[in-house]
Structure 1
Amino acid sequence: MTAFTQKLNPQEALSPRHPNSRLQADWLFLYDKLPPAQWFSAEYVYKTSGWLNIHADIRKRQHILTQISDAYHSGSIEWSEYRVQLLPRINQYIMKLHHHHNIEDQAYFPSFIRMYPQLKSGFEILDRDHIHLDAILNELQVLNGKLAISEAEDKALGEQLHKTLIDVSNLLSQHLTDEEDLVIPILGLN
């Protein structure tokens, strides 16, 4: 066994990766059996990499949107360039997130709860996140629609978009990490 695949000591394994995780220690019994250091090991990668790669793509898209918004607010790019870069990316981002969450809500989460009923409360947190994220994404879609018709610079709109992107980013950061801490061990061990 390599250092990469060695099991963490139990105290480390029971600490979720996000500092503000809402996961309770007793929900982490699978996380303890398959800690993050082993998620990409040869034994598990074929089961875990798909989900982790989707989340990596979501994080990358979120980071790019935030970078574009930051560049506009710092004066590094003009309004016209901001619009050209942001408009299509927001639409793709929203579409991909809605699609991913619908699959989770309709197929994966119910299946995982049937397999591990003791994790139901953890998945209920993730479901509530999806509802909250849908509301923020709908707001982001409305703002993006306004951006599409706002050829003249609208600093207030830019501020609203920036705040909404930060809100999505903050919630997604916690949500994706909590979700991975519950889901990846299920995928890897089953």
Structure 2
Amino acid sequence: MTASTQHVKSQDALLPRHPDTRLEADWLFLYETLPPTKWFNAEYVYKTSGWLNIHADIRKRQHILTQISDAYQSGDIDWAQYRSQILPRINQYVFKLHQHHSIEDNSYFPAFIRMYPPLKTGFEILDRDHVRLDGLLHELQALNGQLAKSEGENKVLSEQLHKTLINVSNLLSQHLSDEEDLVIPILGLN
């Protein structure tokens, strides 16, 4: 293969969907076989839709929390509305994420590594994300606990909570995209 042929071939390779992916090109051999454009094709959807739907729900919950926080920060809702809307949603959000990550860490990821040992380093990145997310979720839950106990308006607390939500959202966005790029092709092709 000539250098110009290699250059054309590398240009034609699929790129991960997240611009800041941590995935190596070598790990995307399944992704190239089953790219995102095929994830919902009739041939694969019964295998891929469950995981994708869970991630869509996580993204939706994250978006709603950020919207509520943004609305309070910009003065579109008052303190009472902010508290009543965000308090129960944070608890449910944290619970759902911990539940999802626990299943991945204890069941799916080890099985996927056994199936595809070359992807081990990619799954180790996802595991480290889970550890970082656990820390952020713990912080989010602690702030939510303070919010539940607060008697009066506390702008400093709401700003800390907002910042933590943004940090979770940024990490989660990258994590979910990287995870899907590794996991969805495995699910669809097996």
TM-score under structure 1 length normalisation: 0.94
**Residue in structure 1 matched with residue 86 of structure 2 by the alignment:** 86
Cα offset, 1:151, TM superposition: 2.5
**Residue in structure 2 matched with residue 104 of structure 1 by the alignment:** 104
Cα offset, 1:10, TM superposition: 7.3
Cα offset, 1:14, TM superposition: 2.8
Q: What is the CA deviation profile of residues 129-179 of structure 1, one whole-angstrom value per residue up to 9, with x for unaligned ones?
A: 000000000000000000001120000000000000000000000000000
For the 8 Å contact 1:13–1:35, the answer to whether it is kept is no
Specify the SS of the correspondent of 1:28.
Answer: helix
How far, CA to CA, are the matches of 1:13 and 1:75 in structure 2?
A: 46
In structure 2, give the amino acid aligned to 1:187: L
**Residue in structure 2 matched with residue 5 of structure 1 by the alignment:** none
1:45 corresponds to 2:45: yes
Structure 1: gaps (5+ residues):
1-8
How far, CA to CA, are the matches of 1:124 and 1:93 in structure 2?
A: 24
**Residue in structure 2 matched with residue 22 of structure 1 by the alignment:** 22
Name the count of aligned residue pairs: 182
**Residue in structure 1 matched with residue 63 of structure 2 by the alignment:** 63
Q: What is the CA deviation profile of residues 9-30 of structure 1, one whole-angstrom value per residue up to 9, with x for unaligned ones?
A: 9745530000000000000000
In structure 2, give the amino acid aligned to 1:85: Q
For the 8 Å contact 1:14–1:25, the answer to whether it is kept is no
User: What does 1:107-122 correspond to in 2, within 5 Å?
Assistant: 107-122=107-122
Structure 2: gaps (5+ residues):
1-8
**Residue in structure 2 matched with residue 4 of structure 1 by the alignment:** none
RMSD: 1.1
Q: What is the CA deviation profile of residues 37-68 of structure 1, one whole-angstrom value per residue up to 9, with x for unaligned ones?
A: 00000000000000000000000000000000
Q: What is the CA deviation profile of residues 57-82 of structure 1, one whole-angstrom value per residue up to 9, with x for unaligned ones?
A: 00000000000000000000001110
Aligned pair in 2 of structure 1 residues 12, 150: CA closer, same or farther (>3 Å)?
farther
The runs of at least 4 consecutive aligned structure 1 residues that moved more than 2 Å come to: 9-14
In structure 1, give the amino acid aligned to 2:59: R
How far, CA to CA, are the matches of 1:69 and 1:91 in structure 2?
A: 15
Structure number with larger C-alpha Rg: 2
Aligned pair in 2 of structure 1 residues 115, 83: CA closer, same or farther (>3 Å)?
same
Specify the SS of the correspondent of 1:56.
Answer: helix
TM-score under structure 2 length normalisation: 0.94
